[in-house]
Amino acid sequence: MLAALRTNWFILRTGIEERLVYRGDFAFATLVRFLPIVTQIFLWGAIYGSASRKTLNGYTYAEMVSYYLLAMVARAFSSMPGLASGIARDVRDGTVKKYLTQPVDMLGFLFWHRIAHKLVYYAVAIGPFAFVFWLLRDYLPGWPDATTLAAFVISLVFAFLIGFLMESLIGLVAFWFLEVSSLLFIYMMINFFLSGHMIPLDWLPEPLSLWCRYLPFSYLAYFPSAVLLGKFAGADLARELAIEALWVVVLLIANQIAFARGVRRYGAFGG
């Protein structure tokens, strides 16, 4: 147990040191990531300006702008750029052998390495985040109560776990299909829509909206944003968090099964 903790700490520390090299890139990329929100402000301003009501599908104009800001924060937690393609590349070129011959779990190594990435990213990007939120402060709701804030933080942690496990599962498909770029492209397309990054899932017609909200995609962007906007409370909030936790368990088991069976059929040759 102590040896495992020491190994994980070493992986995390090494990952942080590596990622600190790119701190300038993180800060610049954060500001650039928020540029599309300018388009969203003008777009939804025109939509609400031409509407006869101030509220559309349960969202005011200010709430819609707030939703997109919060969705970008959630996506920064749940997005895992390069994870699936990196796993597929390791399987394809035989680099995955190092995880099979050394006492290091591949998924565990990638998990702690990704945590290091997120820690450095947010440590560097908190300045640009604060600046953008300050500029758009008039659109944001008031400070949430302690329960809502705690639920929001928990939902972000689960969003990170679900995002990691979904991407790693796609990468593990490389044990059966060496090229997963097409599958990854399809996943990103579906993810962009079903996560609520494109539009809030409330805007979809029933029962499609209800079905989409119970898929793991919705917990990557829609659910954390909706929590802080007060769309879920009480028993509904507890139920959604329980479902989110269940998806983490299901995806974790799926990853373990895929890795175990993939390794069983894997063959690598050479040095």
Q: At what angle do helices 106-135 and 23-33 cross, to 10 degrees?
A: 60
The answer to whether the CB of 199 falls within 8 A of the CB of 226 is no
pLDDT tens, residue order, the chain (271 aa): 666 677 766 677 777 777 666 667 766 776 677 777 778 788 888 888 887 788 888 888 888 888 988 888 898 889 888 888 888 888 888 888 877 777 678 888 888 888 888 888 787 777 777 887 888 888 887 788 889 899 999 999 999 999 999 999 999 998 888 778 888 888 988 998 899 888 888 888 888 888 888 899 999 999 999 999 888 888 999 999 999 999 999 999 999 999 988 888 776 544 4
Beta bridge partners of 56: 59
Q: Is 105 left (phi over 0), alpha (psi -120 to 50) or beta?
A: beta
Residue 59 pairs in a beta bridge with 56
In degrees rounded to 5, what are phi and psi of residue 25? -65, -40
Provide the 8-state DSSP code for 59.
Answer: E
For residue range 8-28, list pLDDT tens digits in order: 666 777 777 776 666 677 667
Distance (Å, rounded) from C-alpha 128 to C-alpha 140? 17
DSSP structure string for 164-200: HHHHHHHHHGGGT-S--HHHHHHHHHHHHHHTTSSS-
In this structure, are residues 84 and 167 in contact, taking their beta carbons and an 8 Å threshold? yes
- Could you report the per-residue pLDDT of 65-103, keeping only the tens digit for each? 889 888 888 988 898 888 888 888 888 888 888 777 776
